Structure 1
Amino acid sequence: MRPSAHAPSAFWLRLMPVILGILTAVGPVSTDIYLPAFPALEHSFGTAAGSAQITLAVWFIGLACGQITQGPFSDRFGRRLPLLLGGVLYTLASIGCALAHDLWSFTACRFIAALGASAAMVVPAATVRDVSEGAEAARKMSTLVLIMGVVPILAPAIGGVVLGFASWRVIFWAAAVYGVVCLALVWRVLPETLPHERRTALPPVALLARYLHIARDPQFSTNAVIGGFSAFVCFAYLGGAPGLFIRELHFSPTQFGVLFGMNAVAMIGASQVNGLLVRRVGVSRLLRFAVAGTMAASLLLLAASLAGRAHPTAALFVAPVMLCLAPLGLVGPNATVGALARHAQHAGSAAALLGTLQYLLGAASGFIIGLLPGGTPLSMAGLMAAGALGMVLADRVRLRDERRHGTPSIDLSTAAMAVH
């Protein structure tokens, strides 16, 4: 029996972060878990070295297309239908990937899977905004952004473990099973959080006008750019770390997996601290501190890279990298809440635009790191510092906008006090 479309129960509200977190993880898992399988893919399909990169590029194109359309679709038809249709697309396309016999059919299935996965990356954030706001929304969003930030770090290590005892095709059979699990959760557990009277339908021209209206909002644009550059920093790490730690510093795959886990724990801890502090400190101040912390740590990493150019050692890089990544667990939830705060009526569209920007900047980071000399500490550190600088500049504009209007864009401390 399907859950009712009435107001969500207290039991559902307690489970919501966990269920939406499981759904949100579809995109990040599918993005990175098969990266260690690139050589096996190329060998299986008989293609040239490096040709598997096209499958990742097409995946990001599919995510961008899906993200920009899923939000308006969910604003028009509710939150459940896009998740159900997206889950079916993702599951069937994952089966297609597992059965593919050439690179081009595999790539086509990856594109379709990305269109389906994009629903699970847009709708959960809009669902949170449907049922909560202010500090409560920030606390719930912490779980979602935690998954979006941590899973890309853990996924390559998981994929490497799978490849140690099974074919790369098993990764995509497992993805299909994951899709079925998500479908079951949406069908049997997830209630509809957007009532009919709040749904809106727009023709393409009006839809474009809505996106332009959202993008022109300084609070949205500054918070979205901060979140986008946090993705830039994270993907610079993901792209540069294997060459640095395995090729240059001679980490074994197991040691590299442990390092990934340590950084994931740092991000998890920061995200949970955000949930505890947001009511007392407020979104604006927490975001400012996190952006400053990322910038300081990235400069420390850059200095370590310059100092160790001749003789790099692990001791120079492990701690600065962790210090640079940990604040991202604070940046994500607060930047997301800030971006969506003024767009309750169009939360799906705003979340879609936000997610598209994050993945485009993340993809740009990965592309740039691929063009830079592989395995050099300076390449990764320089790109992470560039992303942190982008966060700082966007945060300065955000704070200037707050001062111009006389009050902070979001005063979550006051909101939290009013709730209790």
Structure 2
Amino acid sequence: MDSATLSRASSADESVSPAGWARVRLILVLGALIALGPLTIDMYLPALPAIADDLLTTSSAAQLTLTGTLLGLGLGQLVVGPLSDALGRRRPLVAGTAVHVLASLLCLVAPNVAVLGALRLLQGVGAAAAMVVAMAVVRDLFTGRAAATVLSRLMLVMGVAPILAPTIGAGILLRTSWRGVFAVLAGLGVALMLVAVFLLKETLPPARRRTGSVRPVLRTYRSLLLDRQFVVLTLVAALGMSALFSYVSGSSFVLQDHYGLDQQEFGLVFGIGAVALIGASQFNVVLLGRFSPARIVLHALSAAVVTGLVLVTLTATGAGGLLGFVIPLFFLLGAVGFVLPNAPALALSRHGEAAGTAAALLGATQFALGAAIAPLVGVLGNDGPAMAITMTAGAAVGWVTLAATLRAERRTGVAGH
């Protein structure tokens, strides 16, 4: 799988790929667009306990508003992806960002948790446009190792979002209620809409656009689902993401309710996890000079399983207190940081002719699995062991899936010779 994917990637015309300052500017713009999703997810995390109290609901019900966002991000990508292949990248991006702004403003006046959950779903749909278009633009311009390198750099830019988002949210809560978080998100949506209009050039010329009618779109999705390697890589990327969503979903309750941190301290500790993700994604660029993306993913998942088992043991026994929770978590999130740029880059390298649709299916799978994982942490108890178990399980299933696929393909290759 790995060598074949990379050989196809190397055949792409890289002469049109931006270089120098143009590449830096593009990465900054795409990073800002991709960051809208994490900001939408993470900025209100410190407010989850307050939302549960203010709307007279349970912590599990409050977490379902996060599930609504993840579902919106997944479903929105399935729609926006094919539209971006048919209409170009810019128009769906601007329309989706406008939807995000409108939903954010409506969240300001949500009267109960059910309405808030529905509006968060709509907010996720809007944020999906920014995320899927950014991924499609990467595939329009880069492929193979170059795409993995650009995605690693994007994670550096995007990593600022989860570091700052809970801290910003906590700062907002010092001055206003949780509803003020959504006013800030609306303002960010407007700013990113202006970025899309003035700083992002169209990367899909009319000659390369596909029809937007339903049947061809369904045929494209069918061809993607019949590509075993694409499906495996997408599943691995989604399982890696599920470990991250387990952390996002449960961290506010674990750190604030179990370990007794206040909202500002939670924002600081949450940012430590983001530093692990960023550091790993940047070191990934160095590793790509020596190792294939598939090999990096396989070893990273192995490391995630080992550190995850340590985290499960320490949280279940209470050994080490807060440090016994944070230290193995740091290494587990670092391992995930190697999975997130490489698995999507490998998957997208296989379908440059339908980059938007492929990115949509990839992203939708990631967020659909995240939507399933988010309430699971609450169901299991919203404590350290619950979060550790769900994070480790995602990494373990991803490792087994990829290892089994690579082993089967090696056997097939040997038989063929």
Scaled to the shorter chain, the TM-score interval is 0.7 to 0.9
Give the AA of the match of 2:251: A
Question: Kindly tell me: are residues 15 and 120 of structure 1, through their superposed partners in 2, closer, same or farther at Cα, counting changes over 3 Å?
Answer: same
Secondary structure in 2 aligned to 1:180?
helix
Q: After TM superposition, give the deviation of residue 107 of structure 1 in Å.
A: 4.3
Change (3 A) 1:364 1:192: same
- 2-side partners of 1:318 and 1:53: how far apart? 22
Please say if residues 82 and 119 of structure 1, whose CA atoms lie closer than 8 Å, have aligned partners that are also in contact.
yes
Comparing 175-184 and 210-219, the one that deviates more: 210-219
Equivalent AA in structure 2 for residue 365 of structure 1: I
- How far 1:354 moved relative to its partner? 0.6
Determine which of 17, 36, 39 is the counterpart of 1:26.
36
Contact kept? 1:154, 1:261, Cα under 8 Å: yes
The unaligned stretches of length 5 or more in structure 1 are 1-6, 408-420
Q: Where does residue 48 of structure 1 map in the other structure?
A: 57
Cα distance, 1:405 vs. partner?
6.3
Residue 150 of structure 1: CA displacement?
A: 6.6
C-alpha deviation, 1:240, in angstroms:
3.1
Change (3 A) 1:16 1:324: same
**Which residue, out of 351, 357, 360, partners 2:365?**
357
2:216 partner amino acid? A
Question: Normalised by the size of structure 2, how large is the TM-score?
Answer: 0.87
Q: What SS does the aligned partner of 1:281 have?
A: coil
SS of equivalent to 2:273: helix
For the Cα contact (< 8 Å) 2:98–2:126, is it kept in 1?
yes
Q: Distance in 2 between matches of 1:87 and 1:316?
A: 41
1:380 is the counterpart of 2:380: no
- Tell me how far apart the structure 1 counterparts of residues 276 and 168 of structure 2 sit (CA, whole Å): 18
Whether the 8 Å contact between 1:243 and 1:374 is mirrored in structure 2 is yes
Look up the equivalent residue of 2:40 and give its one-letter code: S
Q: Tell me the equivalent position of 2:400.
A: 393
Question: How far does residue 21 in structure 1 lie from its aligned partner after superposition?
Answer: 0.6
2:286 corresponds to which letter in structure 1? L
Which of the numbers 403, 407, 410 marks the counterpart of 2:410? 403
Shift of 1:108: 4.3
The alignment partner of 1:238 has SS state of helix
Number of aligned residue pairs: 397
Contact 1:301/1:321 (8 A) holds in 2: yes
Name the CA shift for 1:202/1:402 in 2 (closer, same or farther; >3 Å).
farther
CA offsets per residue over residues 312-346 of structure 1, 9 Å max, x none? 62232221111111011111110011111110001
After superposition, the C-alpha distances for 1:87-117 in whole angstroms (9 at most, x for unaligned) are 1111222222224455555444433322211
Cα drift, residue 148 of structure 1: 5.8
Deviations 1:47-99 (A, max 9, x none): 43445445333323322221111110000011111111111111222222224
SS at the partner of 2:131?
helix
Which amino acid letter does the alignment assign opposite residue 56 of structure 1? L
**Distance across 1 between alignment mates of 2:197 and 2:342:** 30
5 Å-filtered alignment, 1:85-124, equals 85-101=95-111, 106-124=116-134
Residue type of the alignment partner of 1:218: R
The 1:343–1:296 alpha-carbon spacing in structure 2 relative to 1, beyond 3 Å, is same
Structure 1 residues 9 and 339 mapped into 2: Cα distance closer, same or farther (>3 Å)?
closer
Amino acid at match of 1:19: V
- 1 CA distance for matches of 2:268 and 2:49? 22
15-24 or 153-162, which moves further after superposition? 153-162
Distance 1:72 1:395, change over 3 A: same
- 1:144 matches 2:154: yes
SS where residue 396 of structure 1 aligns?
A: helix
Which amino acid counterpart does residue 321 of structure 1 have in structure 2? L
Aligned pair partner of 2:136 in 86, 107, 126: 126
Cα distance between partner residues in 1 of 2:404 and 2:160: 28
Equivalent residue, structure 2, for 1:411: none
1:262-313 Cα deviation digits (max 9, x unpaired): 221111111111123213322122212211111121122223234x25x662
Is 1:250 aligned to residue 250 of structure 2?
no
Contact kept, 8 Å, 1:230 with 1:387, in 2: the verdict is yes
User: In 2 relative to 1, CA 63–271 (structure 1 residues): closer, same or farther, beyond 3 Å?
Assistant: same
Counterparts in 2 of 1:151 and 1:218: CA distance versus 1, 3 Å: farther
CA 1:175 to 1:249, structure 2 compared with 1: closer, same or farther past 3 Å?
A: closer
Distance apart, 1:402 and its partner CA: 4.6
**Alignment of structure 1 residues 205-244 onto 2, 5 Å:** 205-244=215-254
Amino acid across the alignment from 2:57: A
Query: Residue 303 of structure 2 contacts residue 332 of structure 2 at CA under 8 Å; is this kept in 1?
Result: yes
Instruction: Say which SS state the counterpart of residue 260 (structure 2) adopts.
Output: coil
CA separation of 1:397 and 1:82: change in aligned 2, threshold 3 A: farther
| SS of aligned partner of 2:108 | helix
Question: Which residue pairs with 2:314 in the alignment?
Answer: 304
1:333 pairs, out of 341, 358, 372, with 341
1:346 aligned to 2:354? yes
**SS class of match (1:327):** helix
Percent of pairs with identical residues: 37
Provide the secondary structure at the position in 2 that maps to 1:357.
helix
Q: What code does the residue aligned with 2:92 have?
A: P
Aligned-partner Cα distance in 1 for 2:366–2:158: 11
* 2:175 alignment partner, SS class: coil
Cα distance between partner residues in 1 of 2:51 and 2:263: 19
